[in-house]
Amino acid sequence: MNAAPSEPEPVRFAIDGAEIAVRLAGDRQKPALLLIHGFPASSASFRNVIGTLARTCFVIAPDLPGFGGSAPIDRPSFARFADVVDELLARLGARSFHLYLHDYGAPVGLHLATRDPRRVRSLIVQNANAHESGMGPTWSATRAYWDDPTPEREAEATAHLTFEGVRDQYVGGVPEDVAERVDPRLWAEDWRVMSLPGRLETNRALVLDYRHHVARFGEIADYLDRWQPPALMLWGRHDIFFDLAETLSWLRALPRMEAHILDGPHFLLETHPAECAALMDAFIRRVEAQRRR
């Protein structure tokens, strides 16, 4: 019989001069699972799957600096966020981990993976971009800003940093019956947090810094080609930010990847938590069984 789901433990650490919030759940002697959220959310994205995953793993779900309950840091960038998460892992004694990538979690997590590939037990890819194929027409204003970072182009590239833009991260372009399954309180809370001091500045900086993630696509491709980590894809097909063609790029990069494309949005865990939790749990169990052989 399965044990009762583990309730996450909210913990705070002082890292890089800022207070970092993290949800922890499960037995620390079990394999670690690092869950990295996307924009504009927080570790709350994982609230409906942590209980299931904590039966198999020691779950670590941080709020990135400037998101959720974590304070902003100076000079925010995805590389510096990776430094913060790396320090968090060290303090928790997590020498290796299964790595969940979603949205902004991809540039953070892939910094960790390319720095020390042996630490990564597997990848779980949920609407996370690592190839040019994922960057469709919705990225045109952002690309123009990267090429010529003027105030005018910054305004165009950061036009989504509004209440309406935050809402669209959840339900923009999503079929009505699917959108109805997403709680409006989510984007209201995200916007409340984003309106706190220093948060909008963090998000503006990350829009520009994402160009460095794109510049690393070649390095990431080399990592995937050489290391071929066990991988699971969970993808919401109604994502207006990362083109569906991105799924094929991941499958070409990792030919043994297990892939599930679901009738959900960019924030797939809001509409399909039970399905995704079961798929992740089964996948991690298989990977761990293979590692013991």
In tens, the pLDDT along 196-241 reads 999 999 999 999 999 999 999 999 999 999 999 999 999 999 999 9
The reported pTM is 0.96
Distance CA 188, CA 170 (A): 11
Confidence band of 1 (pLDDT split at 50, 70, 90): very low
In tens, the pLDDT along 57-108 reads 999 999 999 999 999 999 999 999 999 999 999 999 999 999 999 999 999 9
Phi, psi of 62 (to 5 degrees): -80, 155
- Mean pLDDT over 124-130 rounds to 98
- Bridge-based pairing of strands 120-126 and 18-25 is unpaired
In tens, the pLDDT along 21-68 reads 999 999 999 999 999 999 999 999 999 999 999 999 999 999 999 999
Confidence band of 6 (pLDDT split at 50, 70, 90): low
In tens, the pLDDT along 261-281 reads 999 999 999 999 999 999 999
Residue with token string 């890089």: 16
Distance CA 286, CA 290 (A): 6
Confidence band of 293 (pLDDT split at 50, 70, 90): confident
Sheet architecture: strand order including 18-25: 9-15, 18-25, 58-62, 32-35, 97-101, 120-126, 231-236, 258-262
